[in-house]
Amino acid sequence: MSEESEPALKLEGVVKRYGDFQAVRGVDLEVPSGEIFGFLGPNGAGKTTTIRMVAGVLQPSGGRIRISGHDLASEPALAKSRVGYIPDRPFLYEKLSGGEFLRFVAGLWGKEADQVQDRVDRFLHLFHLTEWKDELIESYSHGMRQKLLITSALIHDPTLIVIDEPMVGLDPRSARILKDLLRRYVDEGGTVFLSTHTLEVAEAVCDRIAIIHEGRIIALGTMDELRAEADAGGAHLEDIFLKVTGGDEMAEVVASLRNAVGPSEVGSAGVG
């Protein structure tokens, strides 16, 4: 089968063990091309472990992960070349300038600087980093580093972008640019696998959402499907999340806060 006919991401019975502890317990998941897929879970649920296995940073203890039809275990170079990974914390080479770092990343993917220069210039302009491209990364703020990291993940034109907490460190303008960028990316056939604690972001951006709890996926679908599965009527994702993960006491606290001060005064939802 061609890459186009394969799902962008497929997990089959994926397990991750640390000694006797199972962080991920037989996860099965399929994400087609052209979708922003949200992956949520409370702290310790196996969310970040799964994200890192999909990105090729961690090796599964069992099961199989396929990226655009390529097995991460048997075809690691091909599979990883289809992925752009944006971790929650930017780790960059501080003694390089922003431009040098992007040329370095392009080289890792076997691309000459002139092959990706147009993409680099476009992203730097979008994120207001053009005037900083010749400055050392050590002088960048956290938000600027995050924007540079996002640019580096997109530089080789991947088919799947894996993002852990996409809005961390971004100002509101840059967060909006990133949302619009991701939507344009999937409209053109790309796929986004997105993990976030900010339920408001997931509800606004994602086409489908999976909730993982204690290493297993316990809910999966569109917002309407999740509401039906949780028997939650017109509930927001925060309420569904709390209900399916057994957070009844926390749900009561949130409800009482809403009754006391009104929904507009309660801070954006973030669990864990």
**Domains of the chain as residue ranges with CATH:** 3-82+158-265 (3.40.50.300)
| d(C-alpha 133, C-alpha 261), whole Å | 45
Backbone φ and ψ for 4, nearest 5 degrees, come out as -65, -30
Q: What is the mean pLDDT of residues 21-40?
A: 95
Give the strand pairing for 160-164 and 216-221.
unpaired
Q: What is the mean pLDDT of residues 6-19?
A: 95
Least confident of 101-110, 165-174, 262-271: 262-271
Query: How many residues make up the chain in this entry?
Result: 272
| d(C-alpha 112, C-alpha 15), whole Å | 38
The residue that leads in pLDDT, 74 or 115, is 74
Per-residue tokens: 262: 């009104």
How many percent of the chain have pLDDT more than 90?
43
Most confident of 11-20, 115-124, 211-220: 11-20
Checking if the pLDDT of 64 tops 90, the result is yes
pTM of the model: 0.81
Least confident of 55-59, 114-118, 164-168, 233-237: 233-237
Query: SS3 of 118, please?
Result: helix
Mean pLDDT estimate for the chain: 83
**Predicted local confidence at residue 230, as pLDDT:** 65
| d(C-alpha 263, C-alpha 252), whole Å | 14
- pLDDT tens, 240-267? 777 767 655 445 434 443 444 444 433 4
**Predicted local confidence at residue 241, as pLDDT:** 72
Least confident of 5-14, 32-41, 77-86, 254-263: 254-263
Query: SS3 of 124, please?
Result: helix
Backbone φ and ψ for 63, nearest 5 degrees, come out as 90, -175
> Angle at the Cα of 127 (from 87 to 135), degrees rounded to 5?
85
